[in-house]
Amino acid sequence: MANTIFKRKIYDEMLKWKNEQSDKCALLIKGARRVGKSTIAKEFAKNEFKSYILIDFAHASKSIIELFDDMYDLDFFFLKLQQFSGVRLYEKESVIIFDEVQLLPKARQAIKYLVADGRYKYIETGSLLSIRKNTKDILIPSEEHKISMHPMDFEEFLWAIGNDITADTIKSLIKNKLPAGNALHRNLLRSFRLYMLIGGMPQAVERFLESNNLQVVDKVKRDIIDLYEEDFSKIDRTGLAESIYDSIPASLSKNSSRYVLSTAKKGLKANRVYELIPDMLSSFTINVAYHASDPNVGMSLEKDISRYKLFISDIGLFITLAFRDKDFTDNIIYNKLLSNKLDKNLGYIYENVVAQMLVAKGNNLFYYTMNGETSNHLYEIDFLITSGNKICPIEVKSGNYRSHKSMDVFCSKFSRRIKEKYIIHTKDYRAENGVQYIPIYMVPFM
């Protein structure tokens, strides 16, 4: 069955490339596997060009692969490519898609010469693009415009399930700094919890629309997790990368101020983990928040690479990992999560989804900890983002939102650096004493 074509925001970025940059560079779409890169590239090519050829390097024929062994004569290269694919190319009006380009590094290297030739446009898709085996012995082309594709955000999810009203409602509320009111707030929060349970992977959303059964959706998410864990063997053959990924929910649930190494493997040395972090980031399966030693504009200059927190890049996959203590997750678990009746502290789940939403909006993730009155107490700001020449501290609360000692201490210490103060919680919007209390469904629209 053909994949459902969902409306994605990245389409507008692709149009901008076509109109402004496609004569000078190829478009490279980076993202996790199963996030929808191939689908959107094909849909874009079909809508915006007279013809297209898609070369999927995971399944391309030997004859197609061998074309890249000798590209000295591009006339002959294009002639054979059209012959093998059965598609006619039109100068300036056709696009060639290199799907999963990391599987044939020499095809990626050829982009430099293909773009310079100027006859056609080029789109590349890939994950794990930066790991050593996918860049060894090739010259990475500078003629690439790179964009990142993330799982569906909350607004894209609402579009997918046929809800074209809710996002506009939330945008109006936050723009005017208005509470939703009890009935509407409950409705909006339930919609957001549904998004958290399903997540933003297109296959999971598609299966939900087909079945209306969260346990069926859970099976799709498990298959995606299994696929990711197979990919981790390409990063690290010892199984450590897989262990790190699997242990992220457990580490967050400990409410620790940094990633807990022992949740992945006992006796693990810190340097072994953060050596793997860049390659795991290249897979787009995780998000990383680094500790900001001096929280201010330009936090990338002050990040401590030895202190970090890890998050799963999709909240739906996170929840499946968190409750993966048998071969399936009972519908009763999903129903209790949906109605907020599960007898567990869900703060770590909300923290993960906030991390995901901030990354989708283009933010790098940072957090900050401070010593408290006693040696064993720390104050922590969950996230720090910048706005102009100021910073905005964010605390995520699943319970008592009125108590925010960490925020108070932080704002007292760095008062001149702060623009807005946010408490993200599950209650309705309110503003009090210079703090904005934001219901979690408003975060994508902040």
* Lowest-confidence segment of 90-99, 125-134, 170-179, 293-302 by average pLDDT: 125-134
Tell me what pLDDT residue 333 has.
Answer: 66
Q: Does position 266 have pLDDT exceeding 80, yes or no?
A: no
Q: List pLDDT tens digits, range 96-137.
A: 999 999 999 999 999 999 999 999 999 999 988 766 666 666
pLDDT above 50 for 1: no
Strand arrangement, sheet containing 303-312: 303-312, 286-292, 365-371, 378-381
Q: Is 331 exposed, middle or buried (0-12, 13-18, 19+ CB in 10 A)?
A: middle
DSSP-assigned states of every residue in 163-182: --SHHHHHHHHHHTT----H
Number of H helices, E strands in the chain: 18, 14
Contact (CB, 8 A) for 241 and 48: no
pLDDT grade for 404, boundaries at 50, 70 and 90? confident
pLDDT of amino acid 441: 97
pLDDT of residue 374: 60
Percent of the chain with pLDDT over 90: 65
**Is pLDDT above 50 for 353?**
yes
Q: What is the pTM of this model?
A: 0.91
- On whether the CB atoms of residues 358 and 383 are closer than 8 A, the answer is yes
* pLDDT recorded at residue 258: 65
CA 114 from centroid of its chain's CA atoms: 30
Query: Quick one: tokens of 346?
Result: 């869900």
Does residue 360 contact residue 369 with C-beta atoms inside 8 Å?
no
